Amino acid sequence: MGVTIRTARLADRERIVAISSQIWEGDDYVPQVIDEWLRMRDSEVAVADLNGSVIAFAHAVNLTPGYVWLEGIRTDTAAQGHGAGKALTEYFIEKATREGAERIGLSTYIDNLASIHIIEQYRFVRLASFILAEAKLDGPARPAAELSPLVSAVPFDEARAWILGSASITKSCGFLSQGWKFWPVARPGVVAWPPFDAAIGIRSGDGSLRSLLVVCRPDHGPGGASIDFADGSPEDLDVLVRHALALYPGAKYIQTMIPAGQAVHTNLLETVTGLEFDVWRHGEPDVFVYERAVGQPH
């Protein structure tokens, strides 16, 4: 019998964690979020069953009615290539179609070749590229943490309006990251915003906001933080990123996704490189956001 897909039950939790522990040398985020995934509303964990045992799983969540985010697709390393990844992808596309959603989004890393193969086979379109940078707890960037008197908290409504008018949101094709989840904040049609944790900025003499940095509430467990938006002059970005590092002193990692639309990245890359964040692949765009209109044929 081939692969069959069904909704995960609480009893599948142990197997899901066991599969996840084989991936990325046990550094996968799924064990930190699986309990929340299993009890969240507007969301489903599905598992793939082959001959009576669970070999793969994935999670889909409605960011808002009409916009589905697909994430956490994993197959047991001993059972890859049996069609589970494709069956899970197809299952969620069909579910989104039945439920009348408009679009499905997802993100992946440049070296996940099997994942990219499946995504493109199911006609997801690559819309945005980002450069991943990270400051680990024991890494060289963290001593640069410094609270600045130039920086003040920005009301979330003002921050959202500023983001919509920024050059950075154009380079990210209208997506705002929340770690590895990318929200369609300025996409045509369906719009959804992530919950913010902190918005900080620097104002000009007349009180207008001239630069902004936003950290969203972490969606991959409380251990890390991510700078999900930062735009402004190189000098301001340096001050804002140092300030943000100081706001999250105990975070295991502080990462950021730097928008790199049409091969032009924002000032943030120079800032985090100067501060000695880890940037892989020599600053080549390495995180891709894909989207698919739900109504189109497979």
Ligand X SMILES: CC(C)(COP(=O)(O)OP(=O)(O)OC[C@H]1O[C@@H](n2cnc3c(N)ncnc32)[C@H](O)[C@@H]1OP(=O)(O)O)[C@@H](O)C(=O)NCCC(=O)NCCS
In the complex, the residues that contact ligand X under the rule CB under 6 A are 23, 56, 73-75, 80-86, 108, 112-115, 117-118, 121
Token digits of residue 204: 């000009």
Q: Which of 52, 42, 41, 53 is nearest to 14 (CA)?
A: 53
Between 268 and 289, name the residue whose CB sits nearer to ligand X. Answer: 289
Residue with nearest beta carbon to ligand X: 85
Q: Residue 134 CB: number of other CB atoms within 10 A?
A: 17
Token digits of residue 214: 């936003």
Q: Residue 39 CB: number of other CB atoms within 10 A?
A: 9
10 Å CB burial of residue 86 (0-12, 13-18, 19+) is: middle
Between 34 and 212, name the residue whose CB sits nearer to ligand X. Answer: 34
Between 112 and 296, name the residue whose CB sits nearer to ligand X. Answer: 112
Q: What is the smallest separation between the CB atom of 142 and ligand X, expressed in angstroms?
A: 27
Between 14 and 120, name the residue whose CB sits nearer to ligand X. Answer: 120
Q: What is the smallest separation between the CB atom of 110 and ligand X, expressed in angstroms?
A: 11
Q: What is the smallest separation between the CB atom of 121 and ligand X, expressed in angstroms?
A: 6
Q: What is the smallest separation between the CB atom of 131 and ligand X, expressed in angstroms?
A: 17
Q: How far apart are CA 96 and CA 90, in angstroms?
A: 10
Q: How far apart are CA 23 and CA 9, in angstroms?
A: 22
Q: What is the smallest separation between the CB atom of 238 and ligand X, expressed in angstroms?
A: 32
207: region left, alpha or beta (phi > 0 left; psi from -120 to 50 alpha): left
Query: Which of the 8 DSSP states describes residue 42?
Result: S
Q: How far apart are CA 247 and CA 207, in angstroms?
A: 23
Between 277 and 290, name the residue whose CB sits nearer to ligand X. Answer: 290
Q: What is the smallest separation between the CB atom of 181 and ligand X, expressed in angstroms?
A: 11
Between 134 and 197, name the residue whose CB sits nearer to ligand X. Answer: 134
Q: How far is CA 97 from the centre of its chain?
A: 23
Q: Rg (Cα) of the chain, in Å, rounded? A: 20
